[in-house]
């Protein structure tokens, strides 16, 4: 009785108040994110989902729900505060100049403008009614791709400093009957292991406190399916990720009303930030895209967005390469490298990439225990420096690239001896090493200069360096900078320093391709990828493992940015290895002279084929056809934008008796009316295709019935070319 009377009063207040509310819609091709300013000037989220045909009906959405009461009235706040009436996980927590811990944020004004690149930027200014404390919420929306980037700019004009205890980038509020989280975990050589579970009430947190190699155990990318786990082509699913390379934290709170609140930003762990009056604190962007047509559509949107707007030179050429890491490890000299450079040409790839081990003299880099930081060529291994290798490459009509790990130092190095104060370590505690190394203190502008010059000088001193592999093998232990006075700023200042250096490098060298590597995929995120052309997904290059890993990465990152190398990992034949690597940006890390005649012939012809179809893999549209976690066969297609050509990769992922493509695999992304022919390409020398290449199929047939690539134990990897006739 008491309850129903209460509900009744609530309803009246609700309806009256509703009449004078103002909505701020963020509309993309398929979706709508609707914000509401109520009479008290609270800004809340009332809807995030498929866009309605009639925009005037958004106001009707809240009344359609009869969930339990939101006692606080701010559970769906667009940016949840703390210390006042909020009862849930906040997006922001502050201690004001007078020591008070409360914050309320009320709407002041907003502005929406079209940016040059076609995106729309909405900024909403919020202010505390009591304190001179301001937050500007920023929403950058990309119409065609249904992608939204959200961040916050925090500022105050109080009498003295304010402490930011928490400072999230974004705070989403979503309604559904149930939510399913797909998250990723990993370690070295085990990146992107996925887990899906139903979210239960309370808070589930994905975070990192590792500092540099922040994704080692867990990246910030995730999916949340609504109502039921989304499949490739069905269901509603939200993809999210923080565009940040340091510590992150994303909380998924299923609240008392059964709504999902997602709060994501820089991890506030050990990072209370002291904000001076008038200083602006800008959070990194939280990126999200929502699909009501399953995971495939979400990933295609994200990949297109990444190529067009985020990854450096995302729509430009990439270089195939031969890397010497696994071919030589640290054991090489000039003549051995020159031989490998000649092999690069023989193989037919574009570039030779010299990996770790080329530098340091007092403490030569002959293993991973010494030399990091001393970036002069090792005179014993390379008496004529790097320039002679660049020349050898040029003479052989290939390009030259080089590995570097400029953020790091081995204690056994001249750099460490000369600048012990440049190193991240606690002054009064023993050092603790990750891969025998320590991290340089990028909070310090002198260190920033050193790192910048290390990279810049490679270009200045050695002629035409055409590629950089930027590694980062260590996490941060003993987080402490001898440069900054407030250690709570350490993790944030480190990242600011890193981005400053990368920005300076890009100002000087805007085009040179750079691979983002972190002992594998320990640092893959859209914060860093603005400065890099590609990333190294994992040191695990066993092709069977890579099928699964590349599959998972592909939900969030485009093929053009995914560097895949053929190596000695795995027992599969060279064709299988090469075919798997061709699903992204192809490279090799093998001893070419040790290949059998047929294996070499295969690699050479595969590279020629790759050069013909790589534009479709890099710039076309990707369709997942058969999921390796569900079937014996993994199948992935890339179709060009006019739907006239495509390439389909098929692999056996189960070695049990009789495993193979028993059923046809349905194609996607074709034109139903068009007629196509399918041919098998990249055949191993002296073998013939098992498929009938004379048949003509309509797109309709191929998408309804499918095509059988005839995968079995004898044909474990099949690449098909599909072309309109």
> What is the contact surface with ligand DGJ in residues (CB under 6 A)?
325, 355-356, 403, 471, 473, 517, 519-520, 536, 539
Which residues is 578 bridged to in the sheet?
none
Q: Which of 355, 356, 376 has the alpha carbon at shortest distance from 454?
A: 376
Minimum separation from the CB atom of position 561 to ligand DGJ (A)? 16
CB 405, min distance to ligand DGJ, A? 7
Smallest distance, ligand DGJ to C-beta of residue 325, A: 5
For the CB of residue 631, give the shortest distance to ligand DGJ in the complex, in Å.
30
Minimal distance, residue 677 CB to ligand DGJ, in Å: 40
Name every residue whose Cβ is closer than 8 Å to that of residue 390 and which is 6 or more positions away in sequence.
Answer: 400, 462, 463, 464, 465
How near is the Cβ of 524 to ligand DGJ at its closest, in Å? 12
Class of residue 25 by CB neighbours under 10 A (exposed 0-12, middle 13-18, buried 19+) = middle
Question: In terms of CB distance, is 471 or 525 closer to ligand DGJ?
Answer: 471
Return the number of the residue (356 or 407) whose C-beta is nearest ligand DGJ: 356
Q: Closest separation between CB of residue 545 and ligand DGJ, Å?
A: 15
CA–CA gap between residue 225 and residue 294 (Å, rounded): 9
Task: For the CB of residue 521, give the shortest distance to ligand DGJ in the complex, in Å.
Answer: 9
Two tokens at 527? 């914060």
| Closer residue to ligand DGJ in complex, CB, 172/458 | 458
Buried b vs exposed e over 552-590: b needs ≥16 C-beta within 10 Å? bbbbbbbbbbbbbbbbebbebbbbbbbbbbbbbbbbbbb
Q: State which residue, 517 or 566, has the beta carbon closest to ligand DGJ.
A: 517
Which tokens in the block code for residue 262? 């997602």
CB of 191 to ligand DGJ, least distance (A): 11
Q: Which is nearer to ligand DGJ, 325 or 619 (CB)?
A: 325
Q: Please tell me the distance from the alpha carbon of residue 670 to that of residue 663, in angstroms, as a whole number.
A: 20
Comparison of 191 and 350: residue with beta carbon closer to ligand DGJ: 191
| Beta-bridge partner residues of 123 | 111, 138
Please, which residues have CB within 8 angstroms of residue 579's CB and are 6 or more apart in sequence?
Answer: 543, 606, 649, 651, 682, 717, 718, 719
Nearer to ligand DGJ, 283 or 378 (CB): 378
Minimum distance between the CB of residue 368 and ligand DGJ, rounded to whole angstroms?
6
Three-state DSSP class for residue 555? coil
Using the minimum distance from each CB to ligand DGJ, give the nearer residue, 50 or 435.
435
Measure Cα distances from 715 to 545, 585, 692, 709 in Å.
18, 23, 15, 9
Burial string for 496-534 (b: 16+ CB within 10 Å, else e) reads: ebbbebbebbbeeeeebbbbbbbbbbbbbbbbbbbbbbb
Tell me whether residue 236 or residue 437 sits nearer to ligand DGJ (CB atom).
Answer: 437
- Closer CB to ligand DGJ, residue 292 or residue 474? 474
Distance CA(45)–CA(78), nearest Å, equals 5
Q: How many CA atoms lie within 13 A of 376 on its CB side?
A: 12
Q: How far is the CB of 52 from ligand DGJ (least distance, A)?
A: 48
Interatomic CA distance for residues 434 and 429, integer angstroms: 16
**From the CB of 329, what's the least distance to ligand DGJ, in Å?**
8
- Residue 148 or 476 having the CB closest to ligand DGJ: 476
> Which of 264/473 has CB closer to ligand DGJ?
473
Task: Give whichever of 286 and 403 is closer to ligand DGJ, judged by the CB atom.
Answer: 403
Least separation in angstroms between CB 327 and ligand DGJ: 12
Q: Which residues pair with 140 in a beta bridge?
A: 121, 149
Could you give the angle at the alpha carbon of 272 between the alpha carbons of 266 and 273, nearest 5°?
85
Q: Which residues pair with 32 in a beta bridge?
A: 27, 49
Shortest spacing between CB 539 and ligand DGJ, in angstroms: 5
Q: 248 vs 536, which CB is nearer to ligand DGJ?
A: 536
The set of long-range contacts for 99-107, using a CB threshold of 8 Å and a minimum separation of 24, is: 100/131, 102/130, 103/128, 103/131, 103/133, 104/128, 104/129, 104/130, 105/43, 105/77, 105/79, 105/81, 105/135, 106/40, 106/41, 106/42, 106/43, 107/37, 107/41, 107/42, 107/43
Cα 690 to Cα 229, 666, 675, 693, 700: the distances in Å are 37, 18, 21, 9, 23
Closest separation between CB of residue 472 and ligand DGJ, Å? 9
Q: Which residues of 604-638 are buried (b: 16+ CB within 10 A; e: fewer)?
A: bbbbebbeebbebbbbbbbbbbbbbeebbbbbbbb
Cβ nearer to ligand DGJ, comparing 567 with 661: 567
Q: Indicate the residue whose CB is closest to ligand DGJ.
A: 356
Name the minimum Å distance from CB 436 to ligand DGJ. Answer: 11
Nearer to ligand DGJ, 296 or 587 (CB): 587
* Minimum CB–partner distance for residue 571 and ligand DGJ (Å): 21
Residue 539 or 632: the one with the smaller Cβ distance to ligand DGJ is 539
As given in the structure block, the two tokens for residue 360 are: 């340091």
What DSSP string runs through 679-699?
EEESPPTT---SS-SS-EEEH
Place of tokens 């992935």: 636
CA-angle at 355, arms to 352 and 357, nearest 5°: 135
Query: 490: which 2 tokens?
Result: 């350490």
Sheet with 170-174, side-by-side order of all strands:
170-174, 260-266, 248-254, 202-207
């Amino acid at each position: 009785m008491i309850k129903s009377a209460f509900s009744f009063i609530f309803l009246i207040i609700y309806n009256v108040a509703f009449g004078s509310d103002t909505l701020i819609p963020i509309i993309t091709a398929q979706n709508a994110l609707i914000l509401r300013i109520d009479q008290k000037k609270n800004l809340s989220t009332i809807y995030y989902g498929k866009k309605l045909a009639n925009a005037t009906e958004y106001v009707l959405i809240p009344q359609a729900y009869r969930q339990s009461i939101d006692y606080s009235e701010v559970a769906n706040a667009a940016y949840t505060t703390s210390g006042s009436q909020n009862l849930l996980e906040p997006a922001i927590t502050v201690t004001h100049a007078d020591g008070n811990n409360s914050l309320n944020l009320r709407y002041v004004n907003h502005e929406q403008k079209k940016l040059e690149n076609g995106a729309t930027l909405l900024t909403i200014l919020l202010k505390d009614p009591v304190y001179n404390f301001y937050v500007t919420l920023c929403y950058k929306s990309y119409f065609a791709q249904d992608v939204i980037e959200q961040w916050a700019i925090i500022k105050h004009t109080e009498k003295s400093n304010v402490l930011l205890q928490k400072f999230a980038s974004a705070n989403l509020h979503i309604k559904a009957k149930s939510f399913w989280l797909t998250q990723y975990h990993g370690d070295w050589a085990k990146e992107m292991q996925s887990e899906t579970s139903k979210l239960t009430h309370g808070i589930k947190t994905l975070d990192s406190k590792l500092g540099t190699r922040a994704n080692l155990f867990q990246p910030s990318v995730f999916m949340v399916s609504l109502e039921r786990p989304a499949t490739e082509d069905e269901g509603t699913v939200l993809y999210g990720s923080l565009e940040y390379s340091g510590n992150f934290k994303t909380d998924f709170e299923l609240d008392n009303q059964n709504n999902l609140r997602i709060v994501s930003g820089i991890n506030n762990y050990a990072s209370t930030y002291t904000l001076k009056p008038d200083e602006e604190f800008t959070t990194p962007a939280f990126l999200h895209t929502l699909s009501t047509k399953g995971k495939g559509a979400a990933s295609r949107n994200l990949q297109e967005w990444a190529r067009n707007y985020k990854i450096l030179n995302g729509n430009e050429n990439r270089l195939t390469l031969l890397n010497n890491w696994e071919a030589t490890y640290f054991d090489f000299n000039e003549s051995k490298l020159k031989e490998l450079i000649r092999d690069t040409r023989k193989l037919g790839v574009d570039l030779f990439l010299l990996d770790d081990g080329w530098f340091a003299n007092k403490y030569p880099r002959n293993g991973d225990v010494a030399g990091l930081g001393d970036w002069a060529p090792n005179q014993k291994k390379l008496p004529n420096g790097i320039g002679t290798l660049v020349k050898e490459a040029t003479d052989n009509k290939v390009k030259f690239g080089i590995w570097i790990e400029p953020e790091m130092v081995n204690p056994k190095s001249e750099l460490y001896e000369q600048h012990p104060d440049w190193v991240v370590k606690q002054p009064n505690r023993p050092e603790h090493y990750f891969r025998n190394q320590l991290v340089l203190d990028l909070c310090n502008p002198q260190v920033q200069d050193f790192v910048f010059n290390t990279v810049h000088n490679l270009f200045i001193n050695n002629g035409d360096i055409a590629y950089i592999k930027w590694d980062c093998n260590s996490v941060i232990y003993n987080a402490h900078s001898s440069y900054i006075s407030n250690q709570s700023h350490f993790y944030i200042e480190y990242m600011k320093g890193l981005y400053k250096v990368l920005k300076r490098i890009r100002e000087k060298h805007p085009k040179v391709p750079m691979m983002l590597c972190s002992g594998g995929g320990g640092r893959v995120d859209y914060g860093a990828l603005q400065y890099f052309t590609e990333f190294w997904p994992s040191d695990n290059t066993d092709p069977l493992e890579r099928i699964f890993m590349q599959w998972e990465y592909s939900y969030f990152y485009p093929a053009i940015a995914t560097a895949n190398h053929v190596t000695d990992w795995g027992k599969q034949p060279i064709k299988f290895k090469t075919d798997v690597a061709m699903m992204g940006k192809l490279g090799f890390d093998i001893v070419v002279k040790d290949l059998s005649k047929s294996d070499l012939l295969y690699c050479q012809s595969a590279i020629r084929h790759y050069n013909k179809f790589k534009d479709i893999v890099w710039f076309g549209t990707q369709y997942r056809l058969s999921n390796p976690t569900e079937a014996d066969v993994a199948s992935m297609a890339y179709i060009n934008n006019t739907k006239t050509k495509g390439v389909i990769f098929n692999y056996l992922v189960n070695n049990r008796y009789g495993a193979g493509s028993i059923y046809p695999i349905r194609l996607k992304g074709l034109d139903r009316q068009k007629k196509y022919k399918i041919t098998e390409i990249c055949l191993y020398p002296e073998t013939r295709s098992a498929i009938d290449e004379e048949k003509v199929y309509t797109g309709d047939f191929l998408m309804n019935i499918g095509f059988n690539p005839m995968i079995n134990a004898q044909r474990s990897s099949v690449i098909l070319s599909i072309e309109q006739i």
